[in-house]
Chain A
């Protein structure tokens, strides 16, 4: 626990907190109590806690269960949450009365629906059902007659955006007859649909402020989020201030719809929090997050580049060019691969990227085929083809780097986390001569084991993942074995660093243990950095310092070769 002086802003630790990771959820609607969530060092089993002036209480003390906040009721007397305490595969929906803190089960989830929203009048639920990693059906559940109504009529990617404030309509995104998702409005009474908003890129979210005065819509414009705030009375978008050092993201409204909080930052600047008054048009900066010792002009801005892969498919990528780099001072480089399958590297602040670029490494974050954000055809291009064409796209990225006159073509590595860690290991085993080093952050190395050990609460999604990657209990297992780096580890011939959290429920520690042991047999330099109090992603600052510091040291030794590597 900490207190901070209201005079000086100084932080004063009152007591050491435990080692878990705490995330804010919300203030209570009518008082200063706080909701937050916390898991056990990254095990992804979150509980919801309330903190009042004197104490902290676990509101979901269900051992082994995962609970998620689903939002406040319109009347401010309760909130909704999901928990898999009844059946560890599926999340039931509960309503928590905030005077008594007694939860009531309001929807027993017997068939693996995903919660998508609840209407203000508490009459309807929006529920989706995963069909595959691209497509989901969308349903409205009526609490009064217990009926389910399917909102979409053909198989497509559907997700609820928001109910209208009067509970008469459901806004949802779909991609029927389109590469990109657009916004539809469904009228519940008449079961009719109409298209209400379409952009040139995916509409990723759209929701209303508390009384519906504003509709806030986000799109994913070439790996950058762009936010529109529409005044629903006039139909015009309101203008937000512009900033030299970044753009506005992460918009949230006050309940009375007079104030907005947002963040300003970018790929070369960490995000600062602002409060904006809509009437006076005044923005107030609340944080100054960049360390005073760092000159902001030393940070490196990203740019989007596109290259043709081996078969002519155009691959987008995010490029960071170090300030040190010139044709006379060529720099080493890294291809970076995002998680997934189906994630996307975006143009946002990433401390590891900026740290490495600051130390003279160019980085190309490749959005290989199968990435999100570039249309559904591109998204599906890696299905049942992982570790093959998507890997060739990463090699295409390496070739693009090698063609740059400021890059040392003999010093190009590959780095990635999770699925990107898999790609890193796939590169080092299946194409051992392409990259000079590998940085594997908790990457999958044995698909058979990983796909068989998915936590039970991912049940609603597990089959979709099997459809995309392969079913480890079927004949697909032959292919899954073929594309698993662990069974081909004898090919690893380049220096490797592996970083792993012991608590990771998705990529188990054994995946990293075994690839490290196998690579060591080849007499190549292998470093292994393990964090006992981290899961799928390193959250704690001291661990991030250790992780990123070790990555740079490894790269300086084996890629930049500033020190003579110690012979193993």
Chain B
């Protein structure tokens, strides 16, 4: 496993954590907090995919 794979995997885990916090906040009707964490999760997922994407894909 290369360094970038490890970073991407860490970002996937971070995205999962952010999604978890966001969904919990949404269940507690804290909409702004939920929106923030869901956006953080989406950005983290996108970063993870972009960092391992092969050239030209």
A pairs with B: no
Chain B residues within 8 Å of A, Cβ to Cβ: none
